[in-house]
Amino acid sequence: MTGTVAQWLLEGQELRLSTTRTEAIGFDDYTLAGEVPIWPLFARAYTLERRSPLSGKVLYTYTLLAREARYERDYEAIVELEQYHYASDEELIALWTCETCDLYIEANARPTCPRCGGRMRLHDLRSATRASRFLVLELQTRAPYEPQYVGYVRVDPPVPLMHRRRPDGTVEPNIRQKVFPPDWFAYPFHPEGVQAPSWWEAQEESLRTTRSPVSRLARVVIHPDYRADGLGQQAVRAMLDWVRERWIPEMRVAKEAIETIAMMARYNPFLEKVGFVYLWDTAGGRPVLYYPLSATAERRIAHFLRHDPVAREHGGKLYRSRFPTVEKLAGPLILRRLTKSYTNRLTLEHLSPAVQQLLEAFGVKHRVIQKFIF
């Protein structure tokens, strides 16, 4: 079992274990379950059709596998995808270690050890915590030039505290406890409030007490070559299945809702298209959206949208299109006596003198190349 899962299990916790063999038991030779399945990890195939916006016909189909990150290569792929999200040369997102030299280096790609020249291994992802769990999205049917990993989703426990900033600039503290049952947020993952010798141990102590019927969608990252095809929405839908069935991240209580704090949602409605509802802005001005997983959460959200003065104004909708409406065409556009051609003019003026002299010896000085299309 991977450490990202085993760390959530508590001493004395009763679980059901079954094996397919009696000796030399490997990772894939047993199942483990509590109130929900624990091992093997979640994995599910999905298909996504890409249709023409004009005819509605299927142009191509993605065959995808969404599964919880398990192997070291999964986390290396997450590091690579994370760079597309926000990283730059000044923002190093991964910590790598040489186990031989006991050396640690921050880098965005796997480095070699400067001491022994050996292959360094991924130690930690700086933007995540020990409570983070990851779902990777793989292309099952792909061409040789296509990547294996096209995206990932990260799920965390809800943030420990959340305040709301009203449009007039005033701040309303602990807004979630006024909308949802307060005990939903009574046992957060909050290692900053734990006295421990190290940050790692503080996180471990906080893992033991964390439990909430709310999960947090912390990150959705899609490979830049595969954006605008609906893969972000598909990744979120797979995450909903994962959280609903496995009670991710801590597996201790059934999930009632998923929260996310996402500035991107103000400019891209993909979360709202999946079913997330905008509720408020944090004290720092970042939008907060919720996805209800239970009837209780649905009722609480609906009540808030009906009775809160600010929420009544936006009605749970965050994204507003910046494009004005246009008058519809009365009929199709008909083009008559239209031609199309390409003209390329080639000269030697930007080439080096030696290359110019060589080409001129073959009579090349200036060319106009035209191609008629229709």
| Residues 14-39 pLDDT 10s | 999 999 888 888 888 899 999 999 99
List, as one string, the DSSP characters of 105-119.
Answer: EEESSPPBPTTT-PB
The tens digit of pLDDT for each residue in 279-305 reads 999 999 999 999 999 999 999 999 999
The SS3 of residue 322 is: coil
Least Cα distance to 125 among 93, 155, 156 occurs for 93
pLDDT of residue 125: 84
What percent of the chain has a predicted confidence (pLDDT) above 90?
61
Mean residue pLDDT of the chain comes to 90
pLDDT at position 189 over 90: yes
Strand partners, 80: none
The tens digit of pLDDT for each residue in 315-361 reads 999 988 877 888 888 888 888 888 888 888 888 888 898 888 888 87
The tens digit of pLDDT for each residue in 210-226 reads 999 999 999 999 999 99
Peptide bond into 249 cis (omega under 30): yes
pLDDT of residue 234: 96
Least Cα distance to 250 among 132, 343, 344 occurs for 132
Where are the extended beta strands (E) located within the chain? 16-19, 30-33, 37-39, 43-51, 58-68, 94-98, 103-107, 121-125, 133-139, 149-156, 164-165, 171-172, 214-222, 257-261, 277-281, 287-292, 341-347, 366-372
Tokens representing 84 are: 């597309």
The mean-pLDDT minimum among 82-91, 196-205, 285-294, 311-320 falls in 82-91
List, as one string, the DSSP characters of 83-134.
Answer: HHHT--TT---EEEEETTTTEEEEESSPPBPTTT-PBPEEEEETT--TT-EE
CB atoms closer than 10 angstroms to residue 175: 23
CB 123 within 8 A of CB 95: yes
Instruction: Specify the pTM.
Output: 0.83
pLDDT class for 277, splitting at 50, 70, 90? very high
Q: Where are the domains of the chain?
A: 341-372
pLDDT at position 273 over 60: yes
| CA distances, 289 to each of 31, 128, 265, 271, 274 (Å) | 35, 20, 9, 8, 12
pLDDT class for 86, splitting at 50, 70, 90? low
Q: Residue 373: is it exposed, middle or buried by C-beta count within 10 angstroms (0-12/13-18/19+)?
A: exposed
Tokens representing 13 are: 């916790």
